């Protein structure tokens, strides 16, 4: 496809949405951690809806879980690319996977901090 034939405007957005949906389906099918995070998101939405907290705090609770899911998608993409290149052990491949996994861990820590902070301020403090 030449530069002049590339999709633009609404057609580009529609194609981008199709690719994104395909990525979400692939993550759901192939990544147990992503499925667990979807369950966590449903839980977060229910709890946030029930709690008597501000709309900003509700958004923070749900947003923290969504952020974990975003990082998990990037981790899964990194793993897929590394595995596509080759399954043989290589220091850089291992490092890439470990760093992506560390990013997931850090996003989970951030989510826990948000949840603990909101609950502490409203119910425990």
| Catalytically annotated residue among 72, 76, 82, 93 | 72
Angle at the Cα of 27 from the Cα atoms of 24 and 33, rounded to 5 degrees: 125
- Residue 72 assigned to a binding site: yes
Known binder of ligand: residue 96? no
Residue 89, marked binder: no
Q: Is 20 annotated as a binding residue?
A: yes
Query: With contact defined as beta carbons under 8 Å apart, do 111 and 68 qualify?
Result: yes
What distance, in Å, lies between the first and last C-alpha atoms of the chain?
Answer: 60
Contact between 108 and 67 (Cβ < 8 Å):
no
Q: Is 91 a catalytic residue?
A: no
Length of the chain: 125
Is 84 within any annotated ligand binding site? no
Known binder of ligand: residue 36?
Answer: yes
Where is the binding site, in residues? 12, 16-21, 31, 33-37, 72, 79, 97-98, 101, 115-120
Which residues participate in the annotated binding site for ATP? Answer: 12, 19, 31, 79, 97-98
Looking at the annotation, which residues are catalytic? 72
Please enumerate, by residue number, every residue annotated as part of a binding site for a divalent metal cation. Answer: 31, 79
């Amino acid at each position: 496809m030449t530069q002049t034939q590339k999709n633009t405007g609404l057609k580009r957005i529609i194609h981008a949405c199709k690719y994104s949906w395909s990525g979400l389906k692939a993550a759901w099918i192939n990544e147990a951690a992503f499925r667990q995070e979807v369950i966590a998101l449903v839980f977060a939405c229910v709890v946030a809806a029930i709690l008597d907290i501000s709309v900003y705090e509700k958004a923070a609770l749900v947003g923290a879980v969504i952020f974990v899911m975003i990082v998990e998608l990037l981790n899964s993409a990194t793993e897929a690319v590394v595995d596509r290149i080759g399954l043989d052990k290589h220091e850089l491949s291992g490092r890439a996977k470990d760093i992506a996994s560390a990013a997931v861990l850090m996003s989970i820590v951030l989510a826990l901090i948000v949840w603990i902070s909101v609950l502490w301020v409203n119910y425990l403090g």
